[in-house]
Amino acid sequence: MENKINHRNQIGIIFIILGLLLLIFGCVAGQTIKDIKTGQNVGKTVVVSGTVTDVVSIGGLSYYVLQDNNGTIPVSVKNLPAKGEKLTVSGTLIKDILVGYYIKVVE
């Protein structure tokens, strides 16, 4: 009986360790702008951090340019941040023929 309990405990510990490993290595963290600009990521949610280098609002179009140490990417949003603001953005990566890659944030 005691062997069955120890065996169950061992299996439980293994599942906890596997769960923690999936949590640690399965999360997308620390991606650079250069890293996310791939065809594989188009249509997926991406998360990047950087500094706002430009803010544009023309008619119904509003976006800002986010820059990190590895590149820049336009971010389409309704509410624009201030130029120079450091932030982390989460949104859908889009690839457009004219614009190239950009992130669309749903607010």
Q: What is the pLDDT of residues 48-77, one digit of tens each?
A: 999 999 999 998 889 999 999 999 999 999
**Is the CB of residue 68 less than 8 Å from the CB of residue 86?**
no
pLDDT score for 15 = 54
* Whether pLDDT at 87 is above 60: yes
- One domain, residues 89 and 39: yes
pLDDT score for 34 = 94
- One domain, residues 39 and 77: yes
- One domain, residues 22 and 40: no
pTM, rounded to two decimals: 0.72
pLDDT score for 69 = 94
Tally of domains within the chain: 2
Residues 6+ positions from 69 with CB-CB distance below 8 Å = 32
Q: What is the pLDDT of residues 1-37, one digit of tens each?
A: 545 556 566 665 665 664 444 444 444 445 899 999 9
- One domain, residues 38 and 19: no
